[in-house]
Amino acid sequence: MTEFIYLTIILPLAGFLINGIFGRKIKNACPDSIGEKVIGWIGSGVIGISFLIALFSFFETLSLPADNRQTIVNLFNWIVVGGLNVSFSYQVDQLSLVMAMIVTGVGFIIHVYSIGYMHGDKGFWRFFSYMNLFIFAMMNLVLGDNFLVLFLGWEGVGLCSYLLIGFWYDRKFEKGTTADAAKKAFIVNRIGDFGFLLGMFLIYLTFGSLNFNEVFSRAESFNIDESVFNLIALFLFIGATGKSAQIPLFVWLPDAMAGPTPVSALIHAATMVTAGVYMVARCSILFASAPAIMTVVAVIGLLTALFAATIGLVQNDIKKVLAYSTISQLGYMFLACGVGAFSAGIFHLMTHAFFKALLFLGAGSVIHAMHEEQDIQNYGGLKKYLPHTALTFLVAAFAISGIPPLSGFFSKDEILWYSFANGSFVFWLIGVLTALLTAFYMFRLYFLTFEGKYRFSSEKHPHESPKIMTVPLMVLAGLSIIGGFIGIPEIFSGEHGNQFHNWLAPIFKSAERKLITYGSHSHFEEILLMVVSVIGAAGSIYFARYIYTQKSSIAVQISKRFSKGYNLLWNKYFVDEVYDATVVNPILNTSDSFLWKIADNKIIDGVVNSTASIIDVVSQKIRKVQTGVAQFYAVVMMLGIVLALFWIIFGR
């Protein structure tokens, strides 16, 4: 099956084309909602089959010896010029298979859910067509065997997010429109891509290739200055901060919720934002050779995690809270990469895909039931009306809060442990603090939405979503519960007992050899830290429950008492405003009032037009010489002859 891996790319493309070209016709040709079903199942089906192909490839690869699990499937040449030789070829290995299964697996569940969620939308076919394109781009990104195919997917997901965030292009969103949010996503991503491009150029210049295997093996064997590695890693990481919404380029992700909710699930969980983490993990050897940038990665990840979590504390839009939690969780993944625990980063990427998809789809179910209401202050007591949604949401909230034995516990704990063991106590401390905040705001969200008193008007009659939406929730809930068991830490599972780590080990082998492995830390320390973080998270949950189900006045008091801090958080540290004032507006104003209106119209054209008018004036003068009076011409001619004679006679 592995040699047919390209089908996982071609099938979504086919789905995109079929629904994109014939979707409208299918919808019009079929009666009632049958058209929607056909479109929806074509869209979901291609992703489902892709998942099965990835799954079979996984088992096939699993049966191979651990050091020989890489298969390259070459399709055809793409760009061959000079020393550059890039093909459309795909690499099946441990890392790309994990990613491929997450993308198609979680993607498939989201697609199925969307059949219910998007029911009745006039752009139903367009939606599925874009979603398939999204998966197509993401599969190129994770399966490409060279930087350029990765970049094709990299920009491709940017485009798809643009199309999907702006899906309801005639709607308002916050201060602007959905189209503003879409454009912002694309442009902020492009700023990151700029860094990624420069990274690629430097890689090509240094290693003479853009092919992963060639570049990574040469990175080990060539004698290259560390400063070059630093620069390469820095450029690549700039790309990652764009795609994976890290400081300073995170600003697009909260606005990305302007799209339909399943899109948020897809962007936040299965695709797009995970791209940056994947890329850093894929290039682990390049990063490991650049220790200074590793620290940058860890610190940026850590700061982003904390920063986003604090914003999440006070937001009232259900999707916005989830958006900041994604940014925060991605920060954890970069923290893991930055301290050299790449497989822990990918592990968290996977578990996060399960519970974050679940959270967003659950939020979608709530929004669906509440007729597009997204403010959690206007929810309350919804458990009674949406029992399945409430239960699965609770599972996800426990998972993201790191409560054992749910999946989030294992992955988050592994990251926290490595941040202590390979990093420092401060890393761990900030990491745990973020974990406590996470548990608090997630349960704030849960209690305000599902428990307590109703705070919505009696005109609303919330109802549980149809099966096509709740079954996906249950599947994801199942994965969120058991997903962590494949990565049980070695203190519980014995030496080499962490299956997930073992599976990925060959990929990160050379990177880990470069890094200083963590020294002697006792099992006691590890268990102590684990217990501290779990107790802290549980305490946070209890605290949230106390405030939001019993003493809601406390929340109000705190916000009044610390009104400045609250304002700062509520306005998301005014980052958007600062960017507008320092970057966006100056560029716009200078371009308009100086470059165009003065430099172009006045200065350059001024010179051109005045040259023309000088010539005009001079010609006007000269023209007067031609008076039409023959005698005058005769006089001039005579003068000329005389002068010529003088020159001939006396000139020499």
Partner 1 sequence: MQNNYLITLLLLLPLLGGLFLLVLPKGKENIVRYSGLAISTVTFIVSLLLYFNFDPANGGFQFIHQFKWIEKLNISYFVGIDGMSLLLVLLTTFLTPLTLLSSWSGIQKNVKEFTFFMIMLEVGMLGVFVSLDFFLFYIFWEAMLIPMYFIIGIWGGERRIYASVKFFIYTMFGSLLMLVAIIWLAVYASSPLGYFTTNLLELYNVGPEVPSTIQNWMFLAFAFSFAIKVPLFPLHTWLPDAHVEAPTAGSVILAGVLLKMGTYGLVRFCLPLFPQSSITFAPYISILAIIGIIYGALVAMVQKDVKKLVAYSSVAHLGFVVLGIFAVTMESIQGAIIQMINHGLSTGALFLLVGVIYERTHTREISDYGGIAKIVPVFSFALMFASLSSVGLPGLNGFVGEFLILIGSFKSAVLNNWWYTVFAASGVIFAAVYLLWMYQRVVFGNVTNQKLNGIADMNKREMIVMLPIFIFIVWIGIYPSTFLNVSKESSKKVIEQVYYTQRIFQK
Task: Summarize as ranges the residues that interact with partner 1 (CB under 8 A).
Answer: 76-84, 88, 148, 151-152, 154-156, 159, 162, 166, 169-170, 177-180, 182-183, 186-187, 190-191, 193-194, 197-198, 200-202, 204-205, 587-588, 590-592, 595-596, 599-600, 604-605, 608, 612
* 166 versus 262: smaller Cβ distance to partner 1: 166
Say which residue the tokens 């592994």 belong to.
414
Q: How far is the CB of 608 from partner 1 (least distance, A)?
A: 6
Q: How far is the CB of 169 from partner 1 (least distance, A)?
A: 4
Q: How far is the CB of 178 from partner 1 (least distance, A)?
A: 8
| Secondary structure class of 299 (helix, strand, coil) | helix
Q: How far is the CB of 337 from partner 1 (least distance, A)?
A: 25
* 187 versus 303: smaller Cβ distance to partner 1: 187
Phi, psi of 514 (to 5 degrees): -70, -35
- Pairwise CA distance, residues 515 & 288, whole Å: 6
- Pairwise CA distance, residues 296 & 240, whole Å: 12
Q: How far is the CB of 23 from partner 1 (least distance, A)?
A: 12
Q: How far is the CB of 353 from partner 1 (least distance, A)?
A: 25
Residues 6 or more apart whose CB falls under 8 angstroms from that of 585 comprise: none
Q: How far is the CB of 138 from partner 1 (least distance, A)?
A: 14
* 130 versus 456: smaller Cβ distance to partner 1: 130
Task: Give the HSE-up count for residue 145: Cα atoms under 13 Å, Cβ half-sphere.
Answer: 23
- Pairwise CA distance, residues 275 & 196, whole Å: 12
Q: How far is the CB of 153 from partner 1 (least distance, A)?
A: 8
> How much helix, strand and coil, in percent to the nearest 5, is found in the chain?
75, 5, 20
* 152 versus 294: smaller Cβ distance to partner 1: 152
- Pairwise CA distance, residues 365 & 35, whole Å: 23
Token pair recorded at residue 190: 């492009």
Asked whether 269 and 244 are in contact (CB, 8 A), the reply is no
- Output DSSP code: residue 496: T
* 98 versus 165: smaller Cβ distance to partner 1: 165
Q: How far is the CB of 585 from partner 1 (least distance, A)?
A: 12
Say which residue the tokens 């320390």 belong to.
525
- Output DSSP code: residue 629: -
| Secondary structure class of 30 (helix, strand, coil) | coil
- Pairwise CA distance, residues 182 & 186, whole Å: 6
Token pair recorded at residue 553: 């006045």
* 206 versus 329: smaller Cβ distance to partner 1: 206
Phi, psi of 12 (to 5 degrees): -60, -35
* 183 versus 383: smaller Cβ distance to partner 1: 183
Phi, psi of 81 (to 5 degrees): -145, 130
Say which residue the tokens 């489902």 belong to.
48
Q: How far is the CB of 490 from partner 1 (least distance, A)?
A: 41
Q: How far is the CB of 607 from partner 1 (least distance, A)?
A: 9
Q: How far is the CB of 171 from partner 1 (least distance, A)?
A: 9
* 123 versus 466: smaller Cβ distance to partner 1: 123
Question: SS3 for 351-363, per residue?
Answer: HHHHHHHHHHHHH
Q: How far is the CB of 91 from partner 1 (least distance, A)?
A: 18
Say which residue the tokens 């890393």 belong to.
427
Closest by CA to 16, choosing from 130, 162, 153, 161, is 130
- Pairwise CA distance, residues 308 & 299, whole Å: 14
Asked whether 489 and 414 are in contact (CB, 8 A), the reply is yes
* 87 versus 304: smaller Cβ distance to partner 1: 87
* 563 versus 590: smaller Cβ distance to partner 1: 590
| Secondary structure class of 79 (helix, strand, coil) | strand
Task: Give the HSE-up count for residue 6: Cα atoms under 13 Å, Cβ half-sphere.
Answer: 11
Residues 6 or more apart whose CB falls under 8 angstroms from that of 500 comprise: 343, 347, 486, 487
Residues 6 or more apart whose CB falls under 8 angstroms from that of 571 comprise: 577
* 204 versus 566: smaller Cβ distance to partner 1: 204
Q: How far is the CB of 295 from partner 1 (least distance, A)?
A: 24
Residues 6 or more apart whose CB falls under 8 angstroms from that of 52 comprise: none
Q: How far is the CB of 280 from partner 1 (least distance, A)?
A: 20
Q: Which amino acid is at 596?
A: W
* 55 versus 198: smaller Cβ distance to partner 1: 198
- Per residue in 70-97, is it b (16+ CB within 10 Å) or e — as a string? bbbbeeeeeeeeeeebbbbbbbbbbbbb
* 197 versus 341: smaller Cβ distance to partner 1: 197
* 191 versus 468: smaller Cβ distance to partner 1: 191
* 595 versus 637: smaller Cβ distance to partner 1: 595
- Pairwise CA distance, residues 31 & 193, whole Å: 45
Q: How far is the CB of 191 from partner 1 (least distance, A)?
A: 6
* 191 versus 299: smaller Cβ distance to partner 1: 191
- Pairwise CA distance, residues 211 & 234, whole Å: 19
H or E element, residue 183: helix 178-207
